[in-house]
Amino acid sequence: MPLDLYLVRHGETEWSASGRHTGRTDIPLTARGERDAAWLATRLKAAQFTHVYASPRMRARRTCELAGWGAAAVVEPDLAEWDYGDYEGLSTDEILKVRPGWSLFRDGCPHGESPEQASARADRLLGRLRGLDGNVALFSHGHFGRLLGARWVGLPVVDCALLQLDTASLSILGREHNGPVIALWNERPAGPSP
């Protein structure tokens, strides 16, 4: 059975709603985040997963639980969000005031992960996952999820800027004609965008 990776970004948190970079900080889902994660249960109900992995952060684990797959999930440290270092808790606008022209995917974060380090982590994880068969669920985060999508199809880290990934979204990384493809990207529940 060919490998398909079902990439799920966690539901909304107070920091994701306000645009604050949330890497190591462990904060809960908002009421909307919980509701949207429950939508994922409906969307993923028919999926037959051979493996389910979740980031160690509570927002991803809780999304996995509400989506109906918490009992099957294995915590995978490599699914954690990008380490924002000194930029943890700051919005992009706040960062640009002190570092004009900054781009996470080009510049990384002081005392956090560089693009090369985050890409190596994504490549290491994808290398392990490529040895699996069937549908595999991954409950992760926004920037790291974008990185997984880009690296799955062989794009460099800087091209992550071309991929938007909303909270409580579903994406599918699959294969066609023996090559990697993005089969679905950023599907989310109906209603206003975050």
Give the catalytic positions in this structure: 10, 81
Q: What is the DSSP string of 19-54?
A: TB--SS----B-HHHHHHHHHHHHHHTT--EEEEEE
CB 142 within 8 A of CB 59: no
Residue 158 CB burial class (10 angstroms; 0-12, 13-18, ≥19): middle
Using only C-alpha atoms, the chain has a radius of gyration, in whole angstroms, of 16
Q: Please, which residues have CB within 8 angstroms of residue 75's CB and are 6 or more apart in sequence?
A: 53, 54, 55, 56, 61
Q: Any idea of the CA torsion for 117, 122, 124, 128, to the nearest 10 degrees?
A: 170
DSSP state of 80: S
Q: Please, which residues have CB within 8 angstroms of residue 150's CB and are 6 or more apart in sequence?
A: 156, 157, 159, 160, 162, 163
